[in-house]
Amino acid sequence: MFSRSLEKRNALLPDPVAGWDSESENDVDIYTIIFLALAVFIFLRLRNVLGQRTGSERPPFDRAARNAVQGAPDSTVVPIAGKVLDQAPLAPTAEVTLPSDRWKGLAESGTVLAQGLDAIAAQDSAFDPRHFISGARSAYEMIVLAFANGDRRALRDLLSSEVYDSFETVIKDREKHEQKTETRFVSIDKAELVGAEQRDRTAQLTVRFVSQMISVTRDKSGTIVDGNPDKVADITDVWTFARDTTSRDPNWKLVGTGSAH
């Protein structure tokens, strides 16, 4: 009787083990779903922030290298061995604009002469046309007097080989006829640039000289064969000087002569 009553009582009570298993299964399902949802959410957030690796990523470089090229995209960064120096970002390259009055008093802006001077200055940063003209005035006087006196040594240092040969031909002819030329400068009134050109490595400058001089040529007996010792002649010469702009020799040589009346 007691056992039957106990069986009946047990049948009316819920099975504690069975009930716990059912509730645990429900609890596990709910928590699992929650954790899975959180894991998926976190994964998607990390993927959006960090990106996705594809296997072709560039190797990382240190912070100092990044600071040295601040503002430059990674695709232009080339690792260089050695010490990384701090430097300011490079400013955009601007076109160099030369002043319009760069050759004021020598050549008008935009003329062929000004363009020629620009070309020479681009090849020779030490080029100073005003200094050149001053030297050209002195060279003009020295060459004229050396030619009159037949001074070959002085002429050889001031003339190109072609011009020297033509000058020497005249000197030899005077010597052959035993003639002597006397020349005296009264003044050099003007020395102005009329041409400028850069040909490969050679710069050429053409100068017009306006001068006054007295010149006379006599034979061996003193008889005048050319010129007048009492007359001042107005002379206009157009001479071209040249120099190799890649040479360390700063001297210009006479490469061409002409006259204008």
* Residue 56: domain span: 1-92
- Looking up residue 129, the CATH number of its domain turns out to be 3.10.450.240
The residue whose two tokens read 């009787």 is 1
Element (H, E) at 36: helix 16-50
The answer to whether position 214 is within a domain reads yes
pLDDT at 56: 40
Look at residue 97 and tell me if it is in a domain: no
pLDDT for residue 133 is more than 90: yes
Give pTM, 2 decimals.
Answer: 0.61
pLDDT of 121 > 80? The answer is yes
Q: Which two tokens stand for residue 126?
A: 């030490």
For 240, the enclosing helix (H) or strand (E) is: strand 233-244
Element (H, E) at 224: strand 224-227
| Choice among 17-21, 116-120, 238-242 with the minimum mean pLDDT | 17-21
> Is 226 part of any domain?
yes
- Of 92, 121, 145, the one marking the end of a domain is 92
> Would you call 146 helix, strand, or coil by DSSP?
helix
SS3 of 32, please? helix
- Helices 161-176 and 129-149: crossing angle in degrees, nearest 10, is 20
Residues 193/105, Cβ–Cβ less than 8 Å:
no
Tell me: do 56 and 123 sit in the same domain.
no
Taking 3-state DSSP, the helix, strand and coil percentages for the chain, each rounded to the nearest 5, stand at 45, 25, 35
Question: Does 93 score more than 50 pLDDT?
Answer: no
Encoded amino acid at 45, one letter: R
Q: Of 92, 122, 139, at which residue does a domain stop?
A: 92
What is the tally of structural domains in the chain?
A: 2
Averaged over 91-117, what is the pLDDT?
76
Q: Are residues 28 and 117 in the same domain?
A: no
